[in-house]
Amino acid sequence: METNRPPRILLAVDDESVAQLLTDQFEADGYAVEVTPNGARLIELIEQRDYQLLVLDPNLPNMSGIDLLLQLRARGSRLPVLILTGGRVEDRVASLDAGADDCVTKPFSLNELAARVRALLRRSGAEARTVLRVADLELDRLERKVQRAGRVVVLTPKEFAVLECLMCHAGQPVDRAAILEHVWGFQPRTMTNLVDVYINYLRRKVDSDPYRRLIHTVRGIGYRIVSPAEYVAAGHSPSGAATFSPRR
């Protein structure tokens, strides 16, 4: 896994309110979250994408969580799984015997759930970085604060999320559709300039000095923020001091 990329959690929960509650908690803790209530879709997602943790409610509508877990383990998946079990001892025993790595009993404490998630990710070496840095730009996911060269930059929640998305993929182009999905939760059916508008907002707030620009346009794709190594190689000091002429 790339060092800047947040751990990705797959959340298999049928209850929309619970799914939103957990998504808000996990995203605040610096994780990327995808949600599916569909058992068959869950198997497809795990086979197609790279997740670091599955949080599984055993009471899914079309297939029990235990059966899903048994299928995953039979297919050779070693993905860490945290199950949200009922209160009975038998439920916890069945979950662990089916291949769960840990259980949290419903109703659960969000603090306890977050701690168990951190413990599982530590074991797998996939803990989230709470502070992202590129040159003299720093984004603190827990405090929800951004600084550039020690100066606090006030961003709206959407601006913060766009910048976080870019910094999580520092050095790589991020297409507009990926930014839309990360920040607004949808894939566009038609062309939209929403991402371009927010990139312009960010440039005015964090990237206004033409000698120290971090955010670049990738023609035909989207945007990228330079990696720390690339910034230094281009002639800047790691702290962000400018040493050469501005580039496009």
Alpha-carbon span 156 to 201, nearest angstrom: 10
| Domain spans in the chain, listed from the N-terminal domain onward | 8-123, 131-233
Question: 28-82, pLDDT tens digit by residue?
Answer: 777 888 898 887 788 888 887 778 899 999 888 877 888 889 988 888 888 899 9
Alpha-carbon span 144 to 155, nearest angstrom: 9
The strand pairing partners of 82, in sequence order, are: 55, 102
CATH topology of domain 8-123: Rossmann fold (3.40.50)
Question: 2-26, pLDDT tens digit by residue?
Answer: 445 678 899 998 888 888 889 888 8
In the chain, at which residue ranges do the beta strands (DSSP E only) sit?
A: 8-12, 32-35, 53-56, 81-85, 102-105, 131-134, 137-140, 145-148, 151-153, 174-175, 215-218, 222-225
Query: What type of residue sits at position 70?
Result: L
CB atoms closer than 10 angstroms to residue 213 = 17
CATH topology of domain 131-233: Arc Repressor Mutant, subunit A (1.10.10)
Q: Identify the band that residue 152 occupies on the pLDDT scale cut at 50, 70 and 90.
A: very high
**What global pTM score does this model have?**
0.55
Question: 191-240, pLDDT tens digit by residue?
Answer: 678 999 999 999 999 998 877 889 999 998 899 998 766 766 655 555 54
